[in-house]
Amino acid sequence: MRAAAGRKKRILIIGAGFSGLAAARQLHGLGHEVQVLEGRQRSGGRIHTSREWADLPLDHGATWIHGVRGNPIMREAAALKARLLETRYEDYVAYQTSGRRFTLAEEQARESLGDQIAKKIRKEQSAGRDVALRDAVEEWIGPGAPADTAGLARFILSSDYEQEYAGSINELSTYWFDSDKSFGGGDKLFAEGYQVVIDYLAQGLDLKTGHTVRAIDWSGPVLRVTTDAAEFTADQVLVTLPLGVLKAGDVAFHPALPDGKKQAIERLGMGVLNKCYLRFPRAFWPEDVDWIEFVPEVHGKWSQWVSFMKAARQPVLLGFNAADEGRAMELLTDGQIVASAMETLRTIYGSKIPEPTGHQITRWANDPFARGSYSFNALGSTPAMRKVLAKPLQNRLFFAGEATSTAHFGTTHGAYLSGIRAAREMDSARSTG
């Protein structure tokens, strides 16, 4: 393959996450001169496999290939001969606030309430009225509902909606939150961690880590990118900064971004999903499940867990906290977070369970290179804003990243596909002066 539009271009890509590297590989393969500038001392961005426990690589960011059928990441996984593991949502066990396991009748009540909530949301969507998700289902969580129904509803809203979209039910748009598309088939994860795909994509690329971009001047045909260490020039620049970083205004654009883009950046939501891995000397929970669910007293607190016993034969539990609870938890110390997680596990499995031998904790909202976990459709935003965010400016400043994907925002495949889309735009673009 050769560069389109007649000539080889000098291209700078800002961010060595999945979208940036997917674009870089494509453009490098077409013969363009590509440099990738990354603020961190590592590549991968919101894909980050920790090697802290030498025998067990663990993902602090993305873990799963969501929906394996037709998912482009499966092609990359096959090309690099990655070993994949499987977890299944069907293999779960659920516990009440008291720690008692759900009875069959309670399982059915949960399913029925879940269906009613989904129906109510669909009804609001067909009525075309947009409110925060919490308001759409207020009757089940408001003061009028019996305490156990309200508790169960809050649990469903947290585990089925907030954990998936990372946005708070106070902010998720009822009309648009689920405007994304998904691939069929189950979920798979990388036995050696998601980083294997990043390392595979990054091979042979000119990647400069430790370069935090401060300013992008796109006023003339030669673009200037200033990092805290140097200045670079290029014919084209691809911006893959996370929505949270764009929101914070950490990078100055000269001239300023047009109003449409500014509005998209302001209105789209940046959600939070955090992880807490706990390693134990032995498993004290059922070994035949992947997911452990708990109806917490405090909305969203430790309501979802993944066991690594079935998939990886390791006595490790991963507890999640999303949205408002995810943000609140970040302010605690590691010791306080582990103590809080252990309180929940003791409620379920009793006071005699062993202490963890190790822990690993993420704080994505406070990460200056992410400022959140992934984007969601907040009340006041529309999917069309993602298209505006993705739109090139004067055929020299281009945009990619999960938040620019209308169909697959918040996912690795969304990030990857946005990088491929941007590479195509950049290759075929002729500067408009």
83 to 122: interface string for ligand FAD, x by CB under 6 A: ----------------------------------------
User: What DSSP character marks residue 257?
Assistant: P
Nearer to ligand FAD among residue 176 and residue 416 (C-beta): 416
Looking at the Cβ atoms of 16 and 389, the one nearer to ligand FAD is 16
| 406 contacts ligand FAD (rule: CB under 6 A) | no
Judged by CB, which is closer to ligand FAD: 205, or 213? Answer: 213
Nearest distance from residue 44's CB to ligand FAD, in Å? 6
Shortest approach of ligand FAD to residue 389 CB, angstroms?
11
**Residues in region 32-51 near ligand FAD by CB under 6 A:** 37-40, 45-47
Rank residues 125 and 158 by Cβ distance to ligand FAD and give the closer one: 158
Contacts with ligand FAD in 275-304 (CB under 6 A)? 275
Query: 75: which 2 tokens?
Result: 């092609």
Q: Residues 57, 242, 315, 319: which binds ligand FAD (CB under 6 A)?
A: 242
Strand-pair partners of 12: 35, 237
Segment interacting with ligand FAD (CB under 6 A) among 60-68, 110-118, 133-141, 420-428: 60-68
369 binds ligand FAD (CB under 6 A): yes
Instruction: By CB under 6 A, name the one of 9, 11, 20, 239 that touches ligand FAD.
Output: 20
Answer whether 157's CB lies under 8 Å from 141's CB: yes
First to last CA, the chain: 27
Classify burial at 55, counting beta carbons within 10 Å of its beta carbon; exposed 0-12, middle 13-18, buried 19 or more.
exposed
Residue 305 pairs in a beta bridge with 292, 319
CA angle 206, 208, 213 (to 5 degrees): 130
Q: Is 271 in the site for ligand FAD (CB under 6 A)?
A: no
Instruction: Kindly state the smallest distance separating residue 188's Cβ from ligand FAD, in Å.
Output: 10
Considering the complex, state which of residue 61 and residue 315 has its C-beta at the smaller distance from ligand FAD.
61
Minimum distance from CB of 280 to ligand FAD (Å)?
22
Q: Considering only residues 208 through 237, tell me which ones interact with ligand FAD, judged by CB under 6 A.
A: 212-213
Q: Evaluate whether 240 touches 23 at the Cβ level (below 8 Å).
A: yes
Run of H or E including 410 = none
Tell me the closest approach of the beta carbon of residue 383 to ligand FAD, in angstroms. Answer: 16
What are the DSSP E strand ranges found in 310-407? 316-322, 358-361, 374-376, 397-399
Q: b or e along 78-117 (b: 16 or more beta carbons within 10 Å of the residue's beta carbon)? A: eeeebeebebeeeebbbbbeeeeebeeebeeebeebbeeb
Minimum distance from residue 169 beta carbon to ligand FAD (Å): 19
Does the footprint of ligand FAD cover residue 62 (CB under 6 A)? yes
DSSP per-residue string spanning 122-177: HHHHHHT---BHHHHTHHHHSTTS-HHHHHHHHHHIIIIIIHHH-S-TTTBBTTTT
- Tell me the backbone φ, ψ of residue 33, rounded to 5 degrees: -90, 105
Q: Tell me whether residue 130 or residue 180 sits nearer to ligand FAD (CB atom).
A: 180
CB of 271: closest distance to ligand FAD in angstroms? 9
Element (H, E) at 41: none
Among 234, 268, 273, 378, binds ligand FAD (CB under 6 A): 273
# chain residues binding ligand FAD, by CB under 6 A = 42
Residue 321 interacts with ligand FAD (CB under 6 A)? no
Query: Per-residue x/- mask for ligand FAD, residues 138 to 177, rule CB under 6 A?
Result: ----------------------------------------
Q: How far apart are CA 45 and CA 373, in angstroms?
A: 10
Q: How far is the CB of 106 from ligand FAD (least distance, A)?
A: 28
Dist CA 288 CA 307 (whole Å) = 9
Asked if 408 and 299 count as a contact pair (C-beta separation under 8 A), the reply is no
Count of CB atoms within 10 A of residue 180's CB?
20
* One residue of 207, 237, 246, 370 binding ligand FAD per CB under 6 A: 370
- Residue from 16, 225, 379, 390 touching ligand FAD (CB under 6 A): that is 16
> How distant, in Å, are the alpha carbons of 287, 342, 370 from that of 276?
19, 11, 18
The CA distance from 341 to 276, in Å, is 8
Residue type, 117: I
**CB neighbours of residue 357 within 10 Å:** 11
Task: Considering the complex, state which of residue 90 and residue 355 has its C-beta at the smaller distance from ligand FAD.
Answer: 90
Residue selected from 9, 28, 32, 66 as contacting ligand FAD according to rule CB under 6 A: 66
Residues that bind ligand FAD (CB under 6 A): 14-20, 37-40, 45-47, 61-64, 66, 212-213, 240-242, 245, 250-251, 273, 275, 362, 364, 369-370, 373-374, 401-402, 410-413, 415
